[in-house]
Amino acid sequence: MADADPRLLFGALAALMVAAALYFVLPWRRRRSRGSDGRARRTTAVVLGLGLPAAAIALYVLLGDPGALGDARSELSEQLLAADGPTGPAAAEHVYAELERHLERHPGDGRARVLKARLDTQAQRFDVAADGYEKALQEPSKVAGDATVWVEYAEAVGMAQGGTLIGQPQQLVAKALSLNPAHPQALDLAGSAAWELRDFAQAAQHWKRLLEQIPPGSARHVELSAAIEAAERRARFSLPPARP
C-alpha cells in the first residue's frame, strides 16, 4: 500500500463516492402526478447527490493528477483526496472556477462542459446548464454517446421551462433511451412525460421496465408499483391521448 499510485487511489475514491451517491439517488424518484414541486425536488436531489462527487472524477480525468490544480497541491485537491470529499458552496465555487479556467484553454472539452452544467444545475441556473449541455453534445467526443448526459440535459431544459417534460425534454429522453433502452432515469422521465401527456398506458409501460430493475420489497418498488397501478387504472377510464 505504501507504494500505491496516488492517482489510482484518487480514482478509486471518486468511484466509491459516485456509487454511494447513486445508492441514495435511486429512491428519490417521485411520480409527476404530484406536480412540479416533485420535479424540482427530484432534480435538486440528483445534482446534490452526483454534482460534487462527479466533480472529483472529472477534475481527475481533465487534469490528470489530483495535485494538478496548481504548482502545489491546493486545498481543494486535499479535500478531493479526503474521505468525505469537498463540501459546501466554497468548494463548489472553487471547482467551478477551475472548470471555467480549463474551458478557456480547452473550449472543445465536452466532459468539462458537462461537469460545469451539473454544477450550474445544482445552483439552479437551469438556462445556463441547458446551454452547457447543448454545447457539450455538439463537441466530437464520447459525451454524445452517454445516455446519462442526455437525461441530465432533459432535466435542465425541463426545469428551465417551468418543470415540464413536454416538448424538447421529451425528445432528449427519447434520445437517451435510443442509446440505452434500460437506462433507469430515462425510463422514469419517459413515464413521467407520458403521464403529463395523459398517455397513461405508455407511462405504465415505461415504469414497468423500470420496476424490473428495482429490488422487490423495497420502498421504491412499492411506490413505483402503486404509480403503475394508478396509470393503468387511468388508462382504462380515460380517452386515448390526442396524437399530433
The answer to the question of residue 168 being in a domain is yes
243 within some domain:
no
Q: What is the pLDDT of residue 146?
A: 95
Q: CATH number for the domain including 150?
A: 1.25.40.10
Angle between helices 88-105 and 36-63 (to 10 degrees): 60
Number of structural domains the chain divides into: 1
Among residues of the chain, what percentage have pLDDT more than 70?
Answer: 61
- Residue 141: inside a domain, yes or no? yes
Distance, CA of 199 to CA of 42 (rounded, Å): 22
Mean pLDDT of 9-22: 51
Q: At 72, phi and psi to the nearest 5?
A: -115, 160
Question: Which has the higher per-residue pLDDT, 197 or 244?
Answer: 197
Is residue 242 a part of any domain in this protein?
no
Task: Specify the amino acid at residue 131.
Answer: D
| Residue 32 vs residue 143, higher pLDDT | 143
- DSSP-assigned letter for residue 142: G
As a whole number, the mean pLDDT across the chain is 75
Indicate whether 205 belongs to any domain.
yes
- CA 61 to CA 5: how far, in whole Å? 15
pLDDT of residue 86: 47
Task: State residue 48's pLDDT score.
Answer: 44
Q: 106 in a domain, yes or no?
A: yes
244 is a domain residue: no
Whether 240 maps to a domain, the answer reads: no
The pLDDT of residue 89? 74
For position 94, what pLDDT does the model report? 85
pLDDT one-digit tens code per residue, 185-228 = 999 999 999 999 999 999 999 999 999 999 999 999 999 999 99
Domain enclosing residue 101, as ranges: 6-235
Residue 243's pLDDT band, with cuts at 50, 70 and 90, is: low
Tell whether pTM > 0.85: no
